[in-house]
Structure 1
């Protein structure tokens, strides 16, 4: 059960480096904000804040983790063990996704109570977190510094943020329906808008398809920029 052991290690590593404290501070800030808002703004604000939590925090945190491991030279010894790159990808992704789902549920419950049904919301959060963590990991293995990560990640995520404009009532287009974040926002907003079963199914399938594409790209990136670089030293990276 190497994946389970790796998952536990990643959770401990995230805790040790303050990720849980950072998530807690973000959650508290969101909860305070939700309490201060008028009721008429709660639903849309909850959707946008919940969306920003799994997508952005997981995305950037995975970048910090990978660059930290690069700086410590962990990958040179890690991938000469039976531990596979696939297990590495899933361990990092699932550990951050669990944290993101838990935080999102607490934020939602603080405003709407624990009696609401957040099933589709949490499914949307989990799938969105997996997708963006894959993208963040694929970007992080390609760069050497945080500045490089932030620069490249801007281009990697800009297109996926466009459906937020529709949710905010700023701009809309039928083309947005092919982006994974269209499905994310529909699922996260499901407790408030009561979408049809067909819409829910479409959103879930859309996200699964994009997750598959993201995983394939990330797996290829990890092999190319981490595994095949083993033995070259810091300059080879």
Structure 2
């Protein structure tokens, strides 16, 4: 291995070590702000309700409930975290720390996803009927949570108060929830495939009933691209609003 390769490997390890520490710190903050507690209580209530419904519940209802979990954690909880940090001047302190914008964003996204995925998985198991296994559900919960957290970070970076952030949330939630109309057969349209959450629903449905191969490939690829795009947007918004280094779009 060349000296340059060794140096790059060391830099990658240092970057990963910083990210791991940041994720651990964010998880502690989520415990302190009772985010984990709220998520656990909501999961328990949904799980009890789903067990109570048993065979009386529809697959569409179960998928919509599973879909709501990363939505709530991604949009609402990340807003609470960022605005708490802004209020305590912690957010602006990030500018003078070794933590890069990318590390800050991924720390929030990964830590909240580590809360969202187990919660959604428990609800999926409580609902029963996972005929094709957990993998499609876990993949969908992971990518969907990352997507919503990063979009939430883009919005929270601009907001100055919780009320302002809550006014921004519907601007993202309404279009992202349109594929639910197709799920329940209310208004099905090929245009829903342009919305990333259509991919989320396809993967969640794949945990209960086999989906066409092309649909699964589309869902994974499109969600992956959407996560990458949301990260770039969140980084631009954070740099513009917090670091003041570039203009947000």
Q: TM-score under structure 1 normalisation?
A: 0.92
2:227 pairs with 211, 217, 225, which one?
211
Match of 2:25 in 1: 9
Q: Kindly provide the CA deviation profile for residues 199-223 of structure 1, in whole angstroms up to 9, marking residues without a partner as x.
A: 1011111111111211111000000
User: 1: distance between equivalents of 2:69 and 2:92?
Assistant: 32
User: 2: distance between equivalents of 1:83 and 1:127?
Assistant: 24
Q: Kindly provide the CA deviation profile for residues 99-133 of structure 1, in whole angstroms up to 9, marking residues without a partner as x.
A: 10000111111232789611011100100000010
Structure 2 unmatched runs, 5+: 1-16
Cα distance, 1:76 vs structure 2: 2.6
Match of 1:69 in 2: 85
The aligned runs of 1:176-195 (5 Å cut-off) are 176-195=192-211
User: 2: distance between equivalents of 1:197 and 1:226?
Assistant: 43
Match of 1:57 in 2: 73
User: 2: distance between equivalents of 1:71 and 1:58?
Assistant: 20
SS in 2 for 1:131: helix
Cα distance, 1:39 vs structure 2: 1.1
Match of 2:241 in 1: 225
Are residues 114 and 203 of structure 1, via their aligned partners in 2, closer, same or farther at CA, if it must alter by over 3 Å?
A: closer
1:21 pairs with 37, 44, 49, which one?
37
Cα distance, 1:91 vs structure 2: 0.2
* Misfit runs of 4+, over 3 Å: 113-116
2:135 pairs with 119, 144, 147, which one?
119
2:161 pairs with 145, 150, 159, which one?
145
Cα distance, 1:156 vs structure 2: 2.0
SS in 2 for 1:192: coil
Are residues 192 and 154 of structure 1, via their aligned partners in 2, closer, same or farther at CA, if it must alter by over 3 Å?
A: same
Match of 1:234 in 2: none
Are residues 15 and 113 of structure 1, via their aligned partners in 2, closer, same or farther at CA, if it must alter by over 3 Å?
A: farther
Structure 1 unmatched runs, 5+: 230-237
**1:89 is the counterpart of 2:124:** no
User: 2: distance between equivalents of 1:46 and 1:113?
Assistant: 10
Cα distance, 1:38 vs structure 2: 4.8
Paired residue total: 229
Are residues 116 and 203 of structure 1, via their aligned partners in 2, closer, same or farther at CA, if it must alter by over 3 Å?
A: closer
